[in-house]
């Protein structure tokens, strides 16, 4: 072997491990299940743009939208195994990890509006929930907003008895499971990528989701009646594999944290308008009847779903629920 090659090899062997990162871009695979044209889809692309810019190309973010790499359950396993480094699942999907406290976020009408949701998650409780993930080898970086759920079927859903006997797709939340049971329907957990076909073929009769997801997954094509109930909030936790994250060179991690903070501001700023626009688009197609509940119908639905609060208190403790109620309902409660 040439002497110069030998010297180069000897020098390479002496380099500290972190320097290996400096040789070629660090790749972060970011998998998610929704379309690119949604708040989360756009947020992931914004993070990619900023992360690559702030790190001067030392980090490359590969975004895999629309379940193109993994479906819901698989992606969480893949994160733990290190096959992907970043995800943004809805917090409703954290129960299988054994972090039941996240369930409280799915309580019906927990958040009065977007502002109270945002205030709660920016506060201590959001960070407290992230601490719960640490034992699972997962680090929480940010919460991304996607507005409130609507509910739909091929019949009008205006009062509790309208739900009786219908099968509803749910994403994994034990709370959604309970509230659909409270009104006599049959909830079924199903991966997001399978919902359209399940609605089309009648495997399930209905579903719940935000307007941006109804639009981009075309659920409105296979659901005649959509109720703008805004009964529960959909939020995501952007999470990374802790081992990967803590192993990054500190300067790179700082730049990525800044990219995440900026992408989070962007996503949370656009989420409300994106969903308003999506609802207007769905209305324009004329394919579904879209209704809002009258104040009387709204209060009958709230009453029917209210027992879920007691069930959840048994699972996650009343203090956590009180914390949310304090943050979100302010002085009025
Ligand atoms: C769902 O599975 O219904 C949603 O949580 C998908 C998503 O990530 O918005």
The one-digit pLDDT tens for each residue of the chain (333 residues) are 455 544 444 444 444 444 445 568 999 999 999 999 999 999 999 999 999 999 999 999 999 999 999 999 899 999 999 999 999 999 999 877 889 899 899 999 999 899 889 988 888 899 999 999 999 999 999 999 999 999 999 999 999 999 999 999 999 989 999 999 999 999 999 999 999 999 999 999 999 999 999 999 999 999 999 999 999 999 999 999 999 999 999 999 999 999 999 999 999 999 999 999 999 999 999 999 999 999 999 999 999 999 999 999 998 999 999 988 886 666 443
Question: Given the CA of residue 38, which atom of ligand 1 is nearest to it?
Answer: 9
Q: What is each CA distance from 320 to 11, 101, 109, 309, 311, in whole angstroms?
A: 55, 8, 15, 11, 13
- Which is the closest atom of ligand 1 to the Cα of 171? 2
pLDDT at 123: 82
Distance CA 60, CA 76 (A): 21
Residue 325's pLDDT is 86
If you measure from the C-alpha of residue 193 to the centroid of ligand 1, how many angstroms do you get, rounded to a whole number?
9
**Rounded to whole angstroms, how far apart are CA atoms 106 and 239?**
19
Cα of 175 from ligand 1 centre, angstroms: 15
154, 223 in Cβ contact below 8 A?
A: yes
Give the other-Cβ count within 10 Å of 101's Cβ: 19
The alpha carbon of 218 and the centre of ligand 1 are apart by a number of angstroms equal to 14
Q: Which residues have CB under 8 Å from 308's CB, separation 6+?
A: 107, 108, 175, 178, 179, 182
What's the gap in Å between 61 CA and the centre of ligand 1? 22
34 C-alpha to ligand 1 centroid (Å): 7
Q: Give the C-alpha separation, 94 to 237, whole Å.
A: 10
Tell me the helices (H) and strands (E) count for the chain, helix number first: 14, 11
**Alpha-carbon span 285 to 321, nearest angstrom:** 39
Partner residues linked to 207 by β-bridges: 152, 169
Count of alpha carbons within 13 angstroms of residue 208, beta-carbon side: 33
Mutate to test the pocket of ligand 1, among 34, 70, 207, 215 (most ligand atoms within 8 A of CB): 34
Strand residues in the chain grouped as ranges (E): 26-31, 59-64, 86-87, 138-148, 150-153, 167-170, 186-189, 206-209, 225-227, 233-241, 289-291
- Position in ligand 1 atom list of the atom nearest CA 146: 9
Instruction: State how far the Cα of 151 lies from the Cα of 170, in Å rounded to an integer.
Output: 11
* pLDDT at res. 329: 61
For residues 289 and 225, is the Cβ–Cβ distance under 8 A? yes
Q: How is 44-96 classified by DSSP, letter by letter?
A: HHHHHHHHHHHTTTSEEEEEE-TTSS--HHHHHHHHHHTS-SEE--BGGG-GG
- Test site for ligand 1: of 30, 32, 33, most ligand atoms within 8 A of the Cβ: 33
Pick the residue whose CA is nearest to atom 5 on ligand 1. 90
pLDDT at residue number 333: 38
Q: Give 61's strand partners.
A: 28
pLDDT score recorded for residue 124:
87
CA of 28 to the centre of ligand 1 (A): 22
């Amino acid at each position: 072997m040439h002497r110069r090659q030998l010297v180069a090899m000897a020098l390479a062997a002496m380099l500290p491990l972190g320097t290996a990162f400096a040789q070629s871009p660090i790749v972060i695979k970011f998998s998610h299940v929704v379309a690119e044209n949604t708040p989360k889809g756009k947020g992931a692309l914004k993070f990619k743009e900023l992360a690559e810019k702030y790190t001067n190309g030392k980090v490359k973010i590969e975004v895999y939208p629309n379940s193109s790499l993994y479906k819901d359950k698989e992606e969480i396993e893949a994160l733990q195994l290190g096959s992907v480094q970043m995800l943004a699942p809805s917090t409703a999907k954290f129960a299988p990890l054994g972090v039941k406290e996240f369930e409280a976020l799915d309580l019906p009408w927990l958040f009065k509006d977007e502002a109270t949701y945002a205030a709660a998650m920016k506060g201590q409780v959001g960070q407290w929930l992230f601490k719960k993930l640490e034992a699972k080898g997962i680090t929480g970086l940010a919460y991304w907003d996607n507005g409130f759920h609507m509910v739909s079927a091929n019949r009008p859903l205006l009062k509790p008895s309208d739900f009786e006997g219908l099968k509803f797709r749910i994403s994994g939340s034990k709370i959604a499971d309970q509230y659909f049971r409270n009104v006599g329907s049959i909830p079924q957990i199903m991966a997001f990528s399978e919902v359209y076909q399940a609605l089309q073929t009648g495997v399930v009769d209905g579903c719940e989701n935000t307007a941006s997801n109804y639009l981009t997954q075309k659920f409105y094509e296979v659901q005649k009646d959509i109720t703008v109930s805004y009964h529960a909030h959909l939020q995501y936790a952007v999470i990374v594999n802790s081992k990967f994250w803590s192993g990054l060179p500190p300067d790179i991690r700082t730049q990525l944290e800044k990219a995440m903070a900026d992408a989070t501001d962007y996503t949370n700023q656009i989420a409300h308008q994106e969903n308003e626009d999506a609802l207007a688009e769905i209305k324009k197609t004329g394919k579904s009847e879209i209704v809002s509940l009258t104040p009387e119908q709204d209060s009958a639905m709230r009453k029917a779903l209210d027992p879920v609060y007691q069930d959840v208190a048994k699972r996650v403790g009343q203090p956590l629920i009180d914390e949310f109620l304090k943050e979100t309902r302010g002085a009025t409660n």
